[in-house]
């Protein structure tokens, strides 16, 4: 029963991975067009109105926000479920947390993990540190992970009982919400730009 419920939830968000970004790209344009916002629109030589600014930037930002949100929801579901998965002994062949600086997101950490494990005599390999993005911000959770693991050490993994090739080093959804601040920024950007355009033409 629980397996069927999880499969249904994951399948739902897998479907949304296609539909929601499409809707996010079309709806802002359609809403502005329906309200008559594009009647006097020209590509060059004229300033855009607040409604046009919202529609155009919304068509750019909202599909990306939708994509990130759907991936976040899937990671949250799988991360929460992974806490109850059976454990398996493994070996951490490669491990690195490398900080670097980005222009838009500030300081992030690129996490590299490669491990091997055996189930019923079959050897598997994996690279999933946790459900969530592989580029992570500094946090207490990341500090604990960084202090816990070393390359070449034995580790305890959790694996999907129905998919033995799917394992995770750090169970839970602690890192699954890392994308959410980016989602909120992308959702707010078209609204902020339309307000700025309105103030310019005030």
pLDDT in tens, 63-80: 999 999 988 888 998 999
- Give yes or no for residue 3 having a pLDDT over 70: no
Confidence of residue 35 (pLDDT cuts 50, 70, 90): confident
Same domain, 24 and 54: yes
Over the stretch 102-156, which tens digit does the pLDDT of each residue have?
Answer: 777 678 888 999 999 999 889 999 999 999 887 888 888 888 888 899 999 999 9
**Residue for token digits 């959804």?**
173
Same domain, 12 and 30: yes
Question: Taking the model in full, what pTM does it have?
Answer: 0.75
Number of domains composing the chain: 2
Confidence of residue 10 (pLDDT cuts 50, 70, 90): low
Is the residue at 188 inside a domain?
Answer: yes
Is the residue at 134 inside a domain?
Answer: yes
Is the residue at 21 inside a domain?
Answer: yes
Is the residue at 176 inside a domain?
Answer: no
Over the stretch 19-33, which tens digit does the pLDDT of each residue have?
Answer: 888 888 888 888 888
Same domain, 22 and 44: yes
What pLDDT shows up at residue 158?
95
What pLDDT shows up at residue 87?
95
- Give yes or no for residue 159 having a pLDDT over 90: yes
- Give yes or no for residue 1 having a pLDDT over 50: no
Is the residue at 51 inside a domain?
Answer: yes
Is the residue at 26 inside a domain?
Answer: yes
- What is the extent of the structural domain holding 148? 87-171
Is the residue at 27 inside a domain?
Answer: yes
What pLDDT shows up at residue 24?
85
Same domain, 6 and 66: yes
What pLDDT shows up at residue 129?
93
Cβ(161)–Cβ(69) below 8 Å? no
> How much is the average pLDDT of 176-182?
86
What pLDDT shows up at residue 198?
83
> How much is the average pLDDT of 162-171?
92
Mean pLDDT of all residues in the chain? 85
Q: What share of the chain has pLDDT > 90, as a percent? A: 35
- Give yes or no for residue 6 having a pLDDT over 60: no
Same domain, 52 and 123: no
- Give yes or no for residue 91 having a pLDDT over 90: yes
């Amino acid at each position: 029963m629980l397996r069927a419920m999880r499969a249904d939830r994951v399948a739902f968000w897998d479907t949304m991975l296609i539909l929601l970004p499409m809707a996010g790209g079309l709806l802002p344009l359609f809403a502005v067009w329906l309200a008559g916002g594009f009647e006097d629109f020209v590509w060059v030589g004229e300033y855009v109105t607040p409604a046009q600014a919202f529609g155009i930037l919304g068509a750019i930002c909202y599909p990306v926000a939708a994509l990130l949100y759907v991936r976040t929801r899937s990671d949250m579901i799988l991360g929460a479920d992974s806490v109850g998965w059976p454990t398996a002994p493994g070996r951490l062949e490669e491990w690195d947390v490398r900080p670097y600086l980005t222009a838009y997101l500030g300081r992030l950490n690129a996490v590299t993990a490669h491990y091997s494990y055996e189930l019923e005599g079959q050897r598997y390999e994996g690279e999933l540190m946790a459900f969530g993005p592989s580029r992570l911000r500094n946090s207490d959770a990341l500090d604990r992970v960084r202090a816990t693991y070393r390359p070449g050490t034995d580790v305890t993994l959790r694996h999907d009982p129905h998919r033995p090739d799917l394992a995770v080093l750090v169970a839970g959804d602690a890192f699954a919400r890392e994308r959410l601040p980016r989602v909120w920024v992308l959702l707010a950007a078209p609204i902020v730009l339309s307000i700025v355009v309105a103030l310019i033409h005030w």
